[in-house]
Amino acid sequence: MSTHEAGDRALNRSMLIKLVVVAILMFGFGFALVPMYRAICEVTGINNLVQRDATEREARNTQVDMSRTVSVEFDANARGLLGFRPEQSSLDVHPGEVMTVMYELSNHEGRAVTAQAIPSYAPKQATEYFRKIECFCFTQQTLKAGEARRMPVVFVIDPKLPKDVKTITLSYTFFELNTPAAAQGAPGRT
Protein backbone atom coordinates (compact mmCIF):
# COMPACT_ATOMS: atom_id res chain seq x y z
CA MET A 1 0.00 0.00 0.00
CA SER A 2 1.48 3.30 -1.02
CA THR A 3 1.55 6.47 0.99
CA HIS A 4 -0.81 8.01 -1.51
CA GLU A 5 -3.41 5.26 -0.89
CA ALA A 6 -2.87 5.46 2.87
CA GLY A 7 -3.44 9.24 2.72
CA ASP A 8 -6.66 8.75 0.70
CA ARG A 9 -7.93 6.19 3.24
CA ALA A 10 -7.18 8.57 6.10
CA LEU A 11 -9.04 11.38 4.29
CA ASN A 12 -11.99 9.07 3.54
CA ARG A 13 -12.14 7.87 7.16
CA SER A 14 -11.94 11.46 8.39
CA MET A 15 -14.72 12.49 5.97
CA LEU A 16 -16.90 9.53 7.06
CA ILE A 17 -16.48 10.45 10.74
CA LYS A 18 -17.37 14.08 9.99
CA LEU A 19 -20.49 13.02 8.01
CA VAL A 20 -21.63 10.67 10.78
CA VAL A 21 -21.16 13.44 13.38
CA VAL A 22 -23.11 15.90 11.18
CA ALA A 23 -25.94 13.35 10.70
CA ILE A 24 -26.14 12.71 14.47
CA LEU A 25 -26.17 16.47 15.17
CA MET A 26 -28.94 17.03 12.58
CA PHE A 27 -31.00 14.18 14.07
CA GLY A 28 -30.55 15.62 17.57
CA PHE A 29 -31.40 19.12 16.34
CA GLY A 30 -34.66 17.76 14.87
CA PHE A 31 -35.69 16.47 18.31
CA ALA A 32 -34.56 19.69 19.99
CA LEU A 33 -36.75 21.82 17.69
CA VAL A 34 -40.00 20.87 19.44
CA PRO A 35 -39.01 22.03 22.95
CA MET A 36 -37.23 25.06 21.47
CA TYR A 37 -40.37 25.98 19.50
CA ARG A 38 -42.54 25.63 22.61
CA ALA A 39 -40.15 27.75 24.66
CA ILE A 40 -40.04 30.49 22.01
CA CYS A 41 -43.84 30.46 21.68
CA GLU A 42 -44.29 30.63 25.45
CA VAL A 43 -41.90 33.58 25.78
CA THR A 44 -43.37 35.51 22.84
CA GLY A 45 -47.01 34.44 23.33
CA ILE A 46 -47.26 33.26 19.73
CA ASN A 47 -49.35 30.17 18.94
CA ASN A 48 -49.88 29.33 22.59
CA LEU A 49 -52.85 26.95 22.35
CA VAL A 50 -53.07 26.19 26.06
CA GLN A 51 -53.31 29.86 26.99
CA ARG A 52 -55.85 30.50 24.19
CA ASP A 53 -58.12 27.66 25.40
CA ALA A 54 -58.18 29.09 28.93
CA THR A 55 -59.05 32.52 27.53
CA GLU A 56 -61.84 31.13 25.37
CA ARG A 57 -63.44 29.40 28.37
CA GLU A 58 -63.54 32.72 30.22
CA ALA A 59 -64.82 34.68 27.22
CA ARG A 60 -68.46 35.61 27.03
CA ASN A 61 -70.58 36.56 24.09
CA THR A 62 -71.03 40.29 24.54
CA GLN A 63 -73.40 40.44 21.55
CA VAL A 64 -76.33 38.90 23.45
CA ASP A 65 -79.14 41.41 23.92
CA MET A 66 -80.39 40.48 27.39
CA SER A 67 -82.93 43.31 27.31
CA ARG A 68 -85.04 41.52 24.65
CA THR A 69 -86.70 38.16 24.35
CA VAL A 70 -87.94 36.72 21.08
CA SER A 71 -90.28 33.75 21.08
CA VAL A 72 -89.31 31.17 18.44
CA GLU A 73 -92.03 28.72 17.46
CA PHE A 74 -91.12 25.44 15.76
CA ASP A 75 -93.33 23.77 13.18
CA ALA A 76 -92.77 20.53 11.27
CA ASN A 77 -94.52 18.99 8.26
CA ALA A 78 -93.74 15.83 6.32
CA ARG A 79 -95.04 14.23 3.15
CA GLY A 80 -95.86 10.52 2.95
CA LEU A 81 -95.24 8.19 5.86
CA LEU A 82 -92.42 10.21 7.42
CA GLY A 83 -92.93 11.22 11.04
CA PHE A 84 -91.40 14.59 11.79
CA ARG A 85 -91.74 16.86 14.83
CA PRO A 86 -89.78 19.27 17.02
CA GLU A 87 -89.07 18.09 20.58
CA GLN A 88 -90.38 21.42 21.86
CA SER A 89 -92.94 23.70 20.28
CA SER A 90 -91.38 27.03 21.27
CA LEU A 91 -88.40 28.62 22.95
CA ASP A 92 -87.70 32.09 24.35
CA VAL A 93 -84.41 33.42 23.02
CA HIS A 94 -82.30 36.51 23.63
CA PRO A 95 -80.98 37.89 20.31
CA GLY A 96 -77.31 36.95 19.92
CA GLU A 97 -77.70 33.83 22.07
CA VAL A 98 -76.69 30.51 20.47
CA MET A 99 -79.53 28.01 20.88
CA THR A 100 -80.16 24.37 19.98
CA VAL A 101 -83.47 22.66 19.31
CA MET A 102 -83.89 18.98 18.46
CA TYR A 103 -86.20 17.49 15.83
CA GLU A 104 -87.25 13.87 15.50
CA LEU A 105 -87.57 12.24 12.08
CA SER A 106 -88.90 8.71 11.64
CA ASN A 107 -89.49 6.53 8.61
CA HIS A 108 -92.75 4.55 8.76
CA GLU A 109 -92.32 3.25 5.21
CA GLY A 110 -91.36 -0.37 4.59
CA ARG A 111 -88.35 0.79 2.56
CA ALA A 112 -85.42 3.20 2.78
CA VAL A 113 -86.36 6.82 2.19
CA THR A 114 -84.16 9.75 1.20
CA ALA A 115 -85.65 13.13 2.06
CA GLN A 116 -84.64 16.72 2.57
CA ALA A 117 -86.11 19.52 4.63
CA ILE A 118 -86.96 22.94 3.29
CA PRO A 119 -87.18 25.73 5.89
CA SER A 120 -89.46 28.73 5.89
CA TYR A 121 -89.79 31.64 8.30
CA ALA A 122 -92.57 33.91 9.46
CA PRO A 123 -92.62 36.84 9.41
CA LYS A 124 -90.72 36.97 6.15
CA GLN A 125 -88.53 39.87 7.35
CA ALA A 126 -87.06 37.59 10.05
CA THR A 127 -85.39 35.40 7.40
CA GLU A 128 -82.27 37.54 7.12
CA TYR A 129 -81.81 37.71 10.91
CA PHE A 130 -82.23 33.99 11.65
CA ARG A 131 -78.79 32.38 11.30
CA LYS A 132 -78.52 28.59 11.33
CA ILE A 133 -75.10 27.33 12.38
CA GLU A 134 -76.00 23.66 12.08
CA CYS A 135 -79.09 22.27 10.41
CA PHE A 136 -80.29 18.98 8.96
CA CYS A 137 -81.77 20.93 6.06
CA PHE A 138 -78.28 21.39 4.62
CA THR A 139 -78.06 17.71 3.65
CA GLN A 140 -80.26 14.91 2.38
CA GLN A 141 -81.31 12.43 5.04
CA THR A 142 -81.54 8.71 4.25
CA LEU A 143 -83.47 6.60 6.73
CA LYS A 144 -83.83 2.82 6.61
CA ALA A 145 -87.26 1.26 6.98
CA GLY A 146 -88.46 1.90 10.55
CA GLU A 147 -85.45 4.07 11.44
CA ALA A 148 -85.83 7.14 13.67
CA ARG A 149 -83.31 9.91 14.16
CA ARG A 150 -82.85 12.98 16.38
CA MET A 151 -81.37 15.97 14.56
CA PRO A 152 -80.24 19.34 15.94
CA VAL A 153 -80.78 22.84 14.66
CA VAL A 154 -78.24 25.25 16.15
CA PHE A 155 -79.14 28.88 15.52
CA VAL A 156 -78.68 32.44 16.62
CA ILE A 157 -80.95 35.42 16.06
CA ASP A 158 -79.06 38.51 14.95
CA PRO A 159 -79.39 41.30 17.54
CA LYS A 160 -80.16 43.64 14.63
CA LEU A 161 -83.60 41.98 14.32
CA PRO A 162 -86.17 44.82 14.21
CA LYS A 163 -87.56 45.54 17.68
CA ASP A 164 -91.16 45.07 16.53
CA VAL A 165 -90.54 41.37 15.75
CA LYS A 166 -91.40 39.52 18.95
CA THR A 167 -92.20 36.07 17.52
CA ILE A 168 -90.51 34.05 14.76
CA THR A 169 -91.91 30.81 13.39
CA LEU A 170 -89.41 28.35 11.94
CA SER A 171 -91.21 25.78 9.83
CA TYR A 172 -89.71 22.77 8.07
CA THR A 173 -91.30 20.55 5.46
CA PHE A 174 -89.63 17.22 4.71
CA PHE A 175 -90.01 16.05 1.10
CA GLU A 176 -89.12 12.57 -0.04
CA LEU A 177 -86.56 12.64 -2.86
CA ASN A 178 -86.61 9.01 -3.97
CA THR A 179 -90.32 8.46 -4.51
CA PRO A 180 -91.23 5.23 -6.33
CA ALA A 181 -92.40 7.28 -9.35
CA ALA A 182 -89.09 9.17 -9.50
CA ALA A 183 -87.10 5.94 -9.19
CA GLN A 184 -88.88 4.45 -12.21
CA GLY A 185 -88.09 7.45 -14.41
CA ALA A 186 -90.31 9.78 -16.38
CA PRO A 187 -93.42 8.45 -18.14
CA GLY A 188 -92.69 6.99 -21.57
CA ARG A 189 -89.14 5.93 -20.67
CA THR A 190 -88.06 2.35 -20.36
Q: Is 23 exposed, middle or buried (0-12, 13-18, 19+ CB in 10 A)?
A: exposed
What pLDDT sits at residue 189?
A: 37
Query: How far apart (Å, rounded) are the C-alpha atoms in residues 109 and 75?
Result: 22
Indicate the pairing of strand 167-176 with strand 70-78.
parallel
CATH of 70-182 among 1.20.1440.60, 1.10.760.10, 1.10.150.20, 2.60.370.10: 2.60.370.10
Q: Is the predicted pLDDT of residue 95 greater than 70, yes or no?
A: yes
- In angstroms and rounded to an integer, the radius of gyration of the C-alpha atoms of the chain is 32
| 109 CB-near residues (< 8 Å, 6+ apart) | 80, 81, 82, 145
pLDDT average, residue stretch 170-174: 90
137 Rama sector, left if φ>0, alpha if ψ -120 to 50, beta otherwise: alpha
Task: Confirm if 99 and 154 have CB atoms less than 8 A apart.
Answer: yes
Element (H, E) at 83: strand 82-86
Q: What is the pLDDT of residue 38?
A: 77
Task: Evaluate if residue 113 carries a pLDDT over 50.
Answer: yes
